[in-house]
Amino acid sequence: MINEDRHFFDSDLDPTETQEWVEALEAVVAADGGSRARHLIEALVGAAGRMGVDPGLPLTTPYRNTINPQDQPPFTGDITIEERLSAIIRWNALAMVVRANRQDPSLGGHIASYASAADLFEVGFNHCFRASINDGPGDLVFLQPHSAPGVYARAFLEGRLSESQLDHYRREVNGGGLSSYPHPWLMPDFWQFPTGSMGLGPLQAVYQARFMRYLAARGLAGDKANSGDRHVWGIFGDGEMDEPESLGALGLAAREGLDNLTFVINCNLQRLDGPVRGNGKIIQELEGLFRGAGWNVIKVLWGSDWDALFARDNEGVLTEYLDKTLDGDFQTLAATDGQFNREHFFARDPRLQALVAHMTDDQIDRLRRGGHDPIKISAAYLQSMQRNGRPTVILAKTKKGYGMGHWGQGTMTSHQQKKLDEEALLAFRDRFNLPLDDDAVKALQFYRPPADSPEMQYLHHRREQLGGYLPARQQTAEPIAIPPLEKYGAFALQATERALSTTMVWARLLSGLLRDNELGPRIVPIVADEARTFGIANLFRQIGIYNPQGQQYQPQDADSMLTYREDAQGQLLEEGISEAGAMASWIAAGTAYSAHGTAMLPMYIYYSMFGFQRIGDLIWAAAEQRARGFLLGATAGRTTLNGEGLQHQDGSSHVFMATIPNCRSWDPAFAYEVATIMDRGMREMLIEQRDVFYYLTVMNEAYPQPALPDHVQPEDILSGLYCYRKTTTGKSKPQVRLIGSGTILLEVIKAAEKLAAMGIAAEVWSATSYSEVERDAQACRKAGTPEKSRISNCLSGDIPIVAASDYVSAWPARMAPYLDATFTVLGTDDFGRSDSREALRAYFGVDSESIVKAAQSALC
């Protein structure tokens, strides 16, 4: 019955009537053009809605180019020279990978991806990607990671990389080599954005475009006229779009009207293992997703040589067959020759066959997909740069391994093809008319045309017009003065009667810093819907929440001191429940010194469990991108955040963090420690311009804060380990050493007092950072001077040591290899659970009682 109903509704009740409507529309188009027709359709759709009829409009358009040939702007380049240049770059990229693997087959590398993307890259480099605008910063370009060989090959032509560097592709250990993928850490003056982990590039591109707008709105972008013109480009893969991060910020980009952003998706229909959507059409799927999210979509599917075919296809039969051909079949059509395409595609319908009857098999073979035609690509790129309030995605259809013949074009295994035999190399040379003799081809010689050749002059001229060469990375910016700690943080150095948590201490320090005229505006506080949790809701009113649309509604709490205030010049980034988005904002702000020439200081405060554990890969990318700033892991510690239970209680973030070489992590217990660490961090990042970032765990347990002890110097706190209290029993030498960090230091102090009451002399140490201590010990050991390490200076001898932590025991245990004494570690090694702090600390064995027992047994 249901099926019959469906059949009833799907069938055309009155084909004649339908035909009349279509003809009426055709008449409107003929008389008044497409925009009038569009107006009428919109009016009809609106009317249908009012009548309660769901118009059920598709989000996709036919499988054709979005830009009609008659609307295409004239191509402004020299197509012959550009095609010669891209052929040479293709060759050098291929030669680089194959040479590396001749030297050492384990090195790897990719040929097929860049082969498919070369024209997408080259049109960008020749026409769009600006290195600088009026001497100010230029566009930001995110490049597909495994197409890096093409970028190196271009830089070689430009004279920015030497033949020897090309020859050391993926050989970096002895210097002078080239990274596998875009790695700013390893090539700091070259690569800007690490895109090696699929999905992080698209996400970051959105937030960079957004941050550009944020800087401009706040008057921090330098010359405002330039900043309005800057653009963010990202060339990504169609397979990469499967990553949740790739699509996760589409809504934000549309909502905030980021028309300074273009995604170019190289739709070669394949990923590593096989087709992206064998049974479907990835381009149509992406079109629907992006259009639904509010983006402009420009499809670049067919090259110029298809224009004539479409023009003659009066019945729309070509479009119909392209529409119904699956990607899996398109892949086979890419992997085969003209004859096969004629027999298996065009022969499906006599009308199709007739369309190509005048063409030879070779001509059919050379029919280009849109993503291989610079003329079609540049039309799309130029259109995407027109500001219409929406971001743009360009869906470019290509062939994976384009030009690699049956050795790689469209083959299921093309992604990992990195060896080509001589026959394949010679065929590649012929396919792209490269000026190389057989011997040069077999020897995989790199080719650079003479400096005075038209190609080289053209190449340099184009880049000159676009403000210089790309990619290129700026490494420093103007330093920013840091106010003296006493000016904003004196309270933190004195004892407080009032109980304060370290989160509250941090918030107070932040408030003070925000008031500093020079540093204040450069701070970018970031939250992912937890400002109230961490007690910084006052910032809503104080500095405003950034929203490019300002606040068009009357907030419910307008009369409150803490009113929820959105503002077009707001300073706080409230990212909603998106830790990945918040982290991408943190990266944009933390690398603003490089990407925008304006140093900023991001402080992102979040539930500590949803940091390294949830978005660790983004933090890793931030590290390699040399981001500078503070990450605040709040409500940290497995027993300190007590009620929230297993999923929230963080006992491991410090262990993850310790694996990131330029992240300095801290687990402070007291206000003066927090203040000292913040002060040092800001100096290190903004004045000394060192590429480090700080991870600080801050807690929600409030207790009276002690004053900075007289015997403690800032260097002691910053070394990661210092003596907080000498023995209290009057004995000259301690019998046991107790170490604690974070709130557990208070349990350690209590334990020391209990031990003293038993007549046992205990020394109390605060470990502000086990990883700093361990890194120092490791460095001293490597340098052959272990006796100079902080550990040796503080903890040498055979006095038993007990360390207690709110983190897993692996965190303090980092010190174990460097200690001579008996070392007992108490940690929180288990799933978390809900209960009172006392109960949890007893359960995990990190309360004062457990510490006393551990000390007693260590003394036995």
Ligand X SMILES: Cc1ncc(C[n+]2csc(CCOP(=O)(O)OP(=O)(O)O)c2C)c(N)n1
Contacts (CB under 6 A) with ligand X, residues 546-565:
none
SS3 state at 606: strand
CB atoms within 10 A of CB 454: 13
517 is in an annotated binding site: no
Q: How far apart are alpha carbons 160 and 152 in whole angstroms?
A: 9
Q: Which tokens hold the place of 378? A: 């540049």
268 is in an annotated binding site: yes
Cβ closer to ligand X: 197 or 728?
197
Nearest-approach distance from CB 197 to ligand X, in angstroms:
4
Nearest-approach distance from CB 270 to ligand X, in angstroms:
5
User: Which residue is at the shortest CB distance from ligand X?
Assistant: 237
Cβ closer to ligand X: 300 or 777?
300
Q: Where are the beta strands (DSSP E) in 705-748?
A: 722-725, 736-740
Q: Is 729 in the site for ligand X (CB under 6 A)?
A: no
* Residue 653 contact partner, candidates ligand X, Mg ion, none, CB within 5 to 8 A by sort of partner: none
Options 82, 122, 139, 238; binder of ligand X; rule CB under 6 A = 238
SS3 state at 158: coil
Q: Which residue stretch of 266-274, 604-612, 699-707, 821-829 sits at the interface with ligand X (rule: CB under 6 A)?
A: 266-274
Q: How far apart are alpha carbons 777 and 817 in whole angstroms?
A: 9
Which residue has 């217990």 as its token pair? 669
Per-residue binder mask for Mg ion (CB under 5 A), 228-257, x = binder: ---------xxx------------------
Cβ closer to Mg ion: 147 or 585?
147
Contacts (CB under 5 A) with Mg ion, residues 255-294:
268, 270
Q: Is 240 in the site for ligand X (CB under 6 A)?
A: yes
Per this entry, what is the length of the chain? 860
Nearest-approach distance from CB 859 to ligand X, in angstroms:
51
Contacts (CB under 6 A) with ligand X, residues 155-174:
none
SS3 state at 465: helix
Three-point CA angle 649, 562, 218, nearest 5°: 95
* Residue 87 contact partner, candidates ligand X, Mg ion, none, CB within 5 to 8 A by sort of partner: none
Q: Which tokens hold the place of 122? A: 């080259």
Cβ proximity of 340 and 329 under 8 Å: no
Cβ closer to ligand X: 239 or 467?
239
Per-residue binder mask for ligand X (CB under 6 A), 383-402, x = binder: -----------------x--
Per-residue binder mask for ligand X (CB under 6 A), 63-102, x = binder: ----------------------------------------
* Residue 272 contact partner, candidates Mg ion, ligand X, none, CB within 5 to 8 A by sort of partner: ligand X
Q: Which tokens hold the place of 130? A: 């600006």
Cβ closer to ligand X: 416 or 563?
416
238 is in an annotated binding site: yes
Q: Which tokens hold the place of 128? A: 């769009």
* Residue 113 contact partner, candidates ligand X, Mg ion, none, CB within 5 to 8 A by sort of partner: ligand X
What sign has the CA pseudo-torsion 348, 351, 353, 359?
negative
Cβ closer to Mg ion: 238 or 455?
238
Write down the number of H helices and E strands in the chain: 36, 22
Options 94, 140, 198, 206; binder of ligand X; rule CB under 6 A = 198
* Residue 415 contact partner, candidates Mg ion, ligand X, none, CB within 5 to 8 A by sort of partner: ligand X
Q: Which tokens hold the place of 8? A: 């009833």
* Residue 197 contact partner, candidates ligand X, Mg ion, none, CB within 5 to 8 A by sort of partner: ligand X
Options 146, 522, 596, 737; binder of ligand X; rule CB under 6 A = 146
Q: How far apart are alpha carbons 599 and 220 in whole angstroms?
A: 10
Q: Which residues pair with 82 in a beta bridge?
A: none
Q: Which tokens hold the place of 703? A: 């207790």
Number of residues lying near ligand X (CB under 6 A): 19
Q: How far apart are alpha carbons 663 and 660 in whole angstroms?
A: 6
Nearest-approach distance from CB 241 to ligand X, in angstroms:
7
Among 774, 772, 767, which Cα is nearest to 806's?
767
Cβ proximity of 690 and 740 under 8 Å: no
Which residues, at least 6 apart from 316, have a Cβ–Cβ distance to it below 8 Å? none
Cβ proximity of 535 and 611 under 8 Å: no
Q: Is 272 in the site for ligand X (CB under 6 A)?
A: yes
* Residue 789 contact partner, candidates Mg ion, ligand X, none, CB within 5 to 8 A by sort of partner: none
Q: Is 331 in the site for Mg ion (CB under 5 A)?
A: no
Nearest-approach distance from CB 109 to ligand X, in angstroms:
12
Cβ closer to ligand X: 112 or 663?
112
Q: Which residue stretch of 1-9, 17-25, 190-198, 447-455 sits at the interface with ligand X (rule: CB under 6 A)?
A: 190-198
Cβ closer to Mg ion: 283 or 427?
283
Nearest-approach distance from CB 369 to Mg ion, in angstroms:
13
Which residues, at least 6 apart from 16, have a Cβ–Cβ distance to it below 8 Å? none
Q: How far apart are alpha carbons 288 and 231 in whole angstroms?
A: 24
Residue 778 burial by Cβ neighbours in a 10 Å radius (0-12, 13-18, 19+): middle
Residue type at 121 in one-letter notation: F
User: How far apart, in Å, are the Cα atoms of 511 and each of 536, 538, 539?
Assistant: 9, 9, 8
Cβ proximity of 503 and 675 under 8 Å: no
Cβ closer to ligand X: 116 or 227?
116
User: How far apart, in Å, are the Cα atoms of 165 and each of 90, 118, 149?
Assistant: 17, 21, 12
* Residue 240 contact partner, candidates ligand X, Mg ion, none, CB within 5 to 8 A by sort of partner: ligand X
CB atoms within 10 A of CB 287: 23
Cβ closer to ligand X: 281 or 415?
415
Nearest-approach distance from CB 269 to Mg ion, in angstroms:
7
User: How far apart, in Å, are the Cα atoms of 725 and each of 2, 411, 702, 746, 764?
Assistant: 81, 70, 21, 12, 5
Cβ closer to ligand X: 119 or 673?
119
Contacts (CB under 6 A) with ligand X, residues 407-466:
415
Cβ closer to ligand X: 240 or 327?
240
Q: Is 196 in the site for ligand X (CB under 6 A)?
A: yes
Which residues, at least 6 apart from 822, have a Cβ–Cβ distance to it below 8 Å? 798, 800, 801, 858
Residues found near ligand X in the complex (CB under 6 A): 113, 116, 146, 196-199, 237-240, 266, 268, 270-272, 276, 400, 415
Residues found near Mg ion in the complex (CB under 5 A): 237-239, 268, 270
Known binding residues are: 238, 268, 270
Known binding residues for Mg(2+) are: 238, 268, 270
